[in-house]
Amino acid sequence: MTLQWTAVALFLYAEIVVILILCIPFISARRWQSIFQLRIWSWMARFWNKVFLTMIIVLIVLFLDAVREVRKYSSKEIGTDAKVQPNMFDHLHMKLFRAQRNLYISGFAVFLWLVMKRVVTLINQLAAVTGTTAALQMQADDANKAVEKYTKDNEQLKRATAEGMELLRTEVGKLKDELKSSNNALKKSEAEADGIKKQMEGLAREYERLGSLRVCLTELEQPTDMDKNTISIEKMAKTSEMNLLRRH
């Protein structure tokens, strides 16, 4: 194997190892993204596109050369010289085998180079999506907690409002009862005041009547009988006063 095909074979083996390492299941995409964000990879990222295109061109050129070799040795026919040189047939098959081997090596190298680039791109995208999903999950959890908190606060507010309304209704009922009692007491006091007023008016009329009676008796009766009449009038006045007091 020539030097160039040895280098291509080593490159193919390196691609296989790298792809297997990238496919290890217990290394997460975010861990790979943190590795890719190291300073050395950031420095290499500036030349990555140029290196990728260069390797694609080199591998495609080698692949086309291998295709040419395969077609070259496949189309050759062994003539009469095979009797003179018996090893020529084996030599041609060896050449064909090497050309086919180089074709497979270069073809798989191109294919795995494209696969490796795609795997790295998918890992970065998966890490970005995972980070976004984690952030959205945290926001959703915070929103759920806020909704639960607001729901609890709303329920507490409803209970407090219901209790306050119940207390308010109780206080309003008590105030209505007190107002009704005050109105009844006021009406009773007004009725008592009216009764007292009427009794005072009756007493005043009775005193006026007794006074006029006393004056008339004093003018009409004789002086000798004045004392008796006065005594009798006083007795009548006292009797009237006692009757009025009994009425109260």
Q: What is the pLDDT of residues 121-155, one digit of tens each?
A: 888 888 888 878 878 888 888 888 888 888 888 88
Per the structure, the count of domains in the chain is: 1
Q: pTM here? A: 0.52
Contact 131, 30 (CB under 8 A): yes
Contact 59, 106 (CB under 8 A): yes
- Report how far residue 84's alpha carbon sits from residue 88's, in angstroms, rounded to the nearest whole number: 9
- Report how far residue 15's alpha carbon sits from residue 110's, in angstroms, rounded to the nearest whole number: 10
Name the strand (E) or helix (H) holding 78.
none
187 domain residue, yes or no:
no
Given pLDDT bands bounded at 50, 70 and 90, which one contains residue 111?
A: very high
- Report how far residue 123's alpha carbon sits from residue 132's, in angstroms, rounded to the nearest whole number: 14
Domain that holds residue 11: 3-140
> The tokens of 71 are what?
């077609």
Using CA atoms, how far residue 142 sits from 129, 133, 154, in Å, is: 20, 14, 18
127 domain residue, yes or no:
yes
- Residue 224 confidence (pLDDT): 47
More reliable by pLDDT, 179 or 79: 179
184 domain residue, yes or no:
no
Orientation angle between helical segments 3-22 and 88-220, nearest 10 degrees: 20
- Residue 234 confidence (pLDDT): 61
Contact 109, 59 (CB under 8 A): yes
- Residue 140 confidence (pLDDT): 84
In one letter, which amino acid is 206? E
126 domain residue, yes or no:
yes
